[in-house]
Structure 1
Amino acid sequence: MAPCSDSQLTPPFLASEAHDLIETQLSRVPSIDAGKKIAFQTALNRLKQNLNTSIIESQSTLATPTVASLDNISIPPVSLIHWMVQSNDTGRSVCSNDFMPFTSRSTIAAMGKDVLDSKTPHKCNLASFICVSAYAFYFLQEIVLSDVRRSTGLESRLRLQANGYFTAARVAASHIRTQMPSSLPNLQALTYGVSLAQEAGDFVAAWLLTEAASKMCIELGLHKRMNVFSNSATMAREAYYCFSTNYKNDKGLAMNLGRPAFIQDSLIEIDILRPPHSSNDALDNFRVYLELAKIQSRVIEELRPAKGVSLRSNILAGILSTMDGIWHLNMQLQSIKQANQDPMHDSTMDSTLVDFAFHPLKTVIFHSSSERNQGGLNAARAALEAVQRIRELSKCSQYNSTYMRSSFAHWTVLYYPFTPFFVLLCNVISTHHEPDYYIMQRFVDYLGEARDISASVSKLHKLCIPFCSLAAGVLGIVPDEEPFQGEPTYDGERKQSEASHSPFISTWQDPSPRPPTSHPSTLVQNQHLDTSTHNNIPLQPD
């Protein structure tokens, strides 16, 4: 790949930077005829236009939706709540070695009693209803349905039930206001709200809720060594996981959306990698994701604004050294999991998801230096090859569900910087390296298979198709006449090929039997946000 220009020595995760980067590569390839250059320019202009998004800077009430009565929403039955709080299973341990550690089982038991005693959702504490419903959704998906030992034939019914609790929690979350009083239960509800919005690929709601949650964390003093929860081991642990989870979300979405993070690292007094009353750092997937979030913060706060070659080089070397340590930690964790394989819950998918999260971020970091282009290429290839490994894994029975496909798409492909695809595109343009084109094409094929998950994935698919076709033109390859058009169904679940049928609704509007997929205009500044989708495509908007 041709060296970066002097103006391109920052991680290119903004749409305008991707536009300029590809234009630079085009200008260096005299063999492209005028017609192909015009086609590229048209695609580039569409890229910048499609990714030009804005979110209101100050939104005091988030939104004022006229939400349907909560009386029509199902409450988890006492039998399920009892099962949830009695179970010691941690499921796939996708978050940590504990299950949903920011709400302990004793807390869910107390909240569940409040919900059941209130008879109807609108009469109970809203935070309790959100937490219990969200916990029920994750309990069914992550513990009950992820048990790989045997099939009962009831899985499709359980998934529908889980989706019902998902929808209920999101509708309830639409009532949350930023001026809600600061308390641990309200923070727990906000934390679930962010996760549910992310599950839906609704980055706007996720960002607004992250803002509210981050501010509440600071108001409660969770960034300090001592706070109001420090004297209770259970509450201190829950508060820590609320803070660390929101830190991870804040840093990830800030890079995703190209915006300043709400939580400043300079204010944090605690060791965010170590739970309270613990003498050792926890070694689990959550620890790895937290480490990557700290890297994302350093890229935005240290690397991008750095002036001078020497300073930038020193910061870059330090970040890459830390990334090597994180990869070693990840390999250590995977070895432990393989040696202690849970017969109920396979960890292969989750390990591969962590692998994927590592490579796009490393691509961004490598691409900050003109001397490290080969490292950036290798990382970009590794990122898109990880997608293919997950694509194959998703065909296995234990992963062949809409929930797993949605989680992968919305927590990884649409969550981490989308730089790898464009790094390979630029390399195809500048060097005519054909294998990179086929890596790109396989990624587009994956998006074609997954585009029914949400409007967000469909938009990314449509965005990538013309670039892949143009890359084929540079190489003189005749691409397939039609991209993948199939819409497979999964385990008898409701097919979510249309956003209007999806349980992943945007509850910042009026829910209905066929809910709309757009965000209310009150959330959008000057209507720059493409309101036909749930989120911004994360090659990062301007």
Structure 2
Amino acid sequence: MSDDALRACDLCHSRKVRCDRQLNCANCVDAGLECQRTRPRRPTRPPATTYMPALVSSQHKLTTESTSPAHSVNQGEEDRGLKRRRLDTVSHLQNASKSPHSSCTAAVTPDESTHHAEQAKAVFQGELEGNESMNIERQSILRSALDFVSTMTQGRASNLEDGLQSEMRDDSPVITEFTAPPPEVFYMLLKEPATVAGALNLQWPDHISQECLERMIAVLVDAESQGQIFYQYCVCIYVKAIFHLVQMPRIYKNSTINQQFLKSKRLYESYALHALKHVNFLGNPTLPFIQSLISAAFLMQYTGNMSQAWIMNSYAARQIVALKYHEIGSPVPRSDPNEDIQSSLYWCYYLDRTLSALLIRPLSLPEPPISPVDLIVPDKSLPHLPLIRILLELAQVQGDLLGCGKADNTRQILANHSKLQERMNVIKSNLQATRESVNDFLSCDWIAGDFCYYAILVDILRSRLKYSFSPLTHKECVACARKSLKALRYLQKNPSKNPGFTDPYPTFLTWTIFLYPLSPFFVLFCNIIGELDFDDYTLIQDITQSLAPFAASPYISKLLKLLDSLQNLCIPLIEAKQRLGPKTRVAPWYPSVTGALPDTSTTIEPNFPVNGGSSYADPVVPTLPQQVQAHGAQTYPPTDELMWHLWNSQLTMECFESDFIGLDPSSGNGNL
């Protein structure tokens, strides 16, 4: 008897069961023996359709925990039940299903991670710490807010395979077989889009130069191989085509044409995600591999999937380090063979710093010896390049802020904060100067930059206040929070001026409130409770009402639930203030260095005129002096700790992320 037969017989006899040939006992059949045992047949393994390696799973487990199978099976029903309950409990969401956009389900992040919940919790805890001078009603409201966001921090983590699943839209295109980009896509990308007003290139600059694009197209046109380079190039081309089409709706106003653009965009998303499935993550580091990973990170970010965007970009960062591309010491001119290397480096740097600050995760890419801003090759034909430089500078600040509190003493920590504020003043000047020179057609892109700028500045000021309180710093923090949200409100009131589609929510949300911290919301909420500021209440209410039509998106639904709940806590106080009249003076909630109440007549009120949602102005906020103790001690009294406990709470965006992401729009159940 052969060795295989002996092993099969030993296995059957050791289990003391009889074989039954009709049940296809795998061991006996393989050994060529007559089956005599009865046991369930061995399940058939599904064919391997992806190269998702153990490396992917092990790295992802460093930041997430895998869920149980039972939880995964029941998660879809639970999510649908939760969505129905949300729509029943939030008043202005009750009619959301009547919206033309409510039939769509967003492809959002895979795990219910909790970075927005953690962010709000930090803000609120800082406000609440020891502020016993507040009346009982306000303390109760703040504690209720803290309890509410604390429950949202208990999110569910998932493994990477879960992150590559999704609930698909009913109107998603059906993909039966993956195909390479058709020639029409190549013609579209090789021809620069121009606005109706003139020859203005609207293509958003990315990590793939025009010369590199031509090389990729040449390979895809001639090559018959279905190897890794094929799939890597397909990811890059399809993602580039998506961002090309994003600019079309603000050029062409015909609804029929735009509907066709939307269909093509969805089709390109489907093919890009199918190509990404076939990318071998165990492949050797190469520049095309890095480029496809960065393209995948942009695609995840565009769909609102910030966790997966961070993961994809972290893979790219590791490959950049493996090839020592991060050691570039000097910039190269345009059309240089190394241009694509350095553009991949600074885009990876931007995503790494921005997403790590958003998700409160470690950085993946080491600091290059040269500033990433200096790696941008000048090109006057690309009007967005000045804004790209500003976004890179902001990303540098965000990365430095992550390590700002690691100094040896409070004096050095405050000095680090002062340096960051000085850099932000320079960035602000550049933002204003470049906006004045840009075409009015692109003005909304710079206003979105305002939202990002002030959201980051709020985080810097809030971080500083944790180490040394100053009433003036606090006032500036509140003023910057207003500026950030007023910029967002302007974008909401002028959708036709923004690039992108409403699919299933306005595209500009993916690079504003999805990509940057929501600290301005939480800071203004604390100010509403403390100062009973009706204008701040109205501002947040306007933003919330503008988001309501898109409540079918799981992310937007959770965000609305949070904002509505916080607003509802403020209603009794706002109504009481209105009954007392506008001249009623409310004692400020924030502490002063001397222990006396600050003079409210000197309160700085930022001037952001927005008339009927059609105008936007952004005057420079006067620089406020910082009150820093020589010995680095906290300057607020112990009785004021309660509010600061709430102020420093941190709610992260991960608490709004759903369980699945659409990597296969063609499948009915969302599985790969």
TM-score range, shorter chain: 0.7 to 0.9
Q: Which residue of 1 aligns with 2:595?
A: none
Deviation at 1:405, TM superposition (A): 4.9
Structure 2: gaps of 5 or more residues: 1-116, 167-172, 579-658
Structure 2 CA distance for partners of 1:43 and 1:216, relative to 1, 3 Å? same
| Equivalent position of 1:441 in the other structure | 541
Q: Which residue pairs with 2:446 in the alignment? A: 351
Relative distance call for 1:505 and 1:172 in structure 2 (3 A) is: farther
TM-aligned CA deviation for residue 91 of structure 1: 11
2:43 aligned partner: none
Matched residues in 1 for 2:576 and 2:329: separation?
63
376-385 or 101-110: which moved more? Answer: 101-110
CA deviation profile, 1:455-477 (whole Å, cap 9, x unmatched): 22221111111111101223336
1:476 equivalent in alignment to 2:579? no
Q: 1:436, CA displacement in angstroms? A: 1.8
Shift of 1:187: 0.9
2:337 pairs, out of 235, 239, 242, with: 235
Is 1:329 matched up with 2:434? no
> Relative contact order (alpha carbons < 8 A, sep ≥ 6): 1 or 2 greater?
2
Alignment map for 1:452-471 (pairs within 5 Å): 452=552, 454-471=553-570
What one-letter code is carried by the residue in structure 1 that aligns with 2:529?
A: I
1:304 to 369, 385, 405: 405
Q: Deviations over 1:426-481 (max 9, x none)?
A: 122222222222222222223323434x32222111111111110122333699xx
Alignment-mate amino acid for residue 262 of structure 2: R
Shift of 1:317: 1.3
State yes or no: 1:258 paired with 2:376.
no
State the Cα deviation string for residues 229-262 of structure 1 (Å, max 9, x = none).
Answer: 9799443222112111111111111111111111
Q: Which amino acid aligns with 1:506?
A: I
The match for 1:415 among 515, 530, 543 is 515
- 1:193-234 Cα shifts (integer Å, max 9, x gaps): 01110111112211210110111121222221369x979944
**2-side partners of 1:226 and 1:90: how far apart?**
37
Given residue 407 of structure 1, which amino acid in structure 2 is its aligned partner?
T
Matched-pair contact (CA < 8 Å) for 1:356–1:386:
yes
SS in 2 for 1:259: coil
TM norm structure 1: 0.75
2:460 to 355, 365, 368: 365
In the alignment, is residue 147 of structure 1 matched against residue 251 of structure 2? yes
- 2:127 and 2:156 mapped to 1: Cα distance? 23
Quote the residue 1:185 is aligned against.
288
Shift of residue 153 of structure 1?
Answer: 3.6
CA distance in 2, matches of 1:203, 1:159: 22
* Alignment partners' CA distance in 2, 1:264 and 1:391: 37
| Contact 1:381–1:424 under 8 Å retained in 2 | yes
Residues 387-428 of structure 1, C-alpha deviation per residue, up to 9 Å, x if partnerless? Answer: 11111111x376583169543212111211111111111122
Within the candidate set 7, 15, 18, 2:123 is matched to 18
Q: 1:63 to 1:51 in 2, by over 3 A?
A: closer
> For residues 118 and 278 of structure 2, what CA distance do their matches in structure 1 show?
33
Q: 1:263 to 1:398 in 2, by over 3 A?
A: closer
- Verify: 1:382 aligned to 2:486, yes or no: no
Deviations, residues 245-295 of structure 1 (Å, cap 9, x unaligned): 111111111111111111232xx1123112377699x95111110010001
Q: In the alignment, is residue 164 of structure 1 matched against residue 298 of structure 2?
A: no
Alpha-carbon distance in structure 1 between the residues aligned to 2:260 and 2:226: 23
Q: Is it true that 1:130 corresponds to 2:235 in the alignment?
A: yes
Return the alpha-carbon distance in structure 2 between the equivalents of residues 118 and 52 of structure 1.
49
Identity across the alignment (%): 18
Change (3 A) 1:299 1:123: closer
The residue correspondences of 1:90-105 to structure 2 (distance < 5 A) are 99-105=204-210
Task: Report the Cα distance in structure 1 between the residues aligned to 2:146 and 2:205, rounded to whole angstroms.
Answer: 42
Cα pair 1:233 1:277 within 8 Å, conserved? no
Counterpart of 1:489 in structure 2 is: none
Task: Tell me if the contact between 1:141 and 1:403 (Cα under 8 Å) persists in the aligned partners.
Answer: no
C-alpha spacing 1:512/1:155, structure 2 compared with 1 (3 Å): closer
TM normalised by structure 2 equals 0.61
Distance apart, 1:31 and its partner CA: 4.2
Asked if the contact 2:235–2:292 (Cα under 8 Å) also holds between the matched residues in 1, the reply is yes
For 1:222 and 1:81, locate their aligned partners in 2 and report how far apart those are by CA, in whole Å: 29
1:120 CA drift (Å): 9.4
2:509 maps to amino acid:
A
CA RMSD between the two structures:
3.9
- Secondary structure of 2:251's match? coil
* Counterpart secondary structure, 2:362: coil
Post-superposition offset of 1:145: 3.8
CA distance in structure 1 between the partners assigned to 2:130 and 2:531 by the alignment: 10
Classify the secondary structure of the residue corresponding to 1:413.
coil
Distance 2:420 2:308 in 1: 31
Partner of 1:112: 217
In structure 1, what residue type is equivalent to 2:152? N
Which residue in 1 is equivalent to 2:415? Answer: 314
Any gaps of 5 or more consecutive residues in structure 1? 1-11, 480-503, 521-542
Q: Does 1:79 align with 2:184?
A: yes
1:321-342 Cα offsets, whole Å, 9 max, x none, are: 110100100111111114xx5x
User: What is the alpha-carbon distance in structure 1 between the residues aligned to residue 334 and residue 234 of structure 2?
Assistant: 24
Give the superposition deviation at 1:42. 4.6
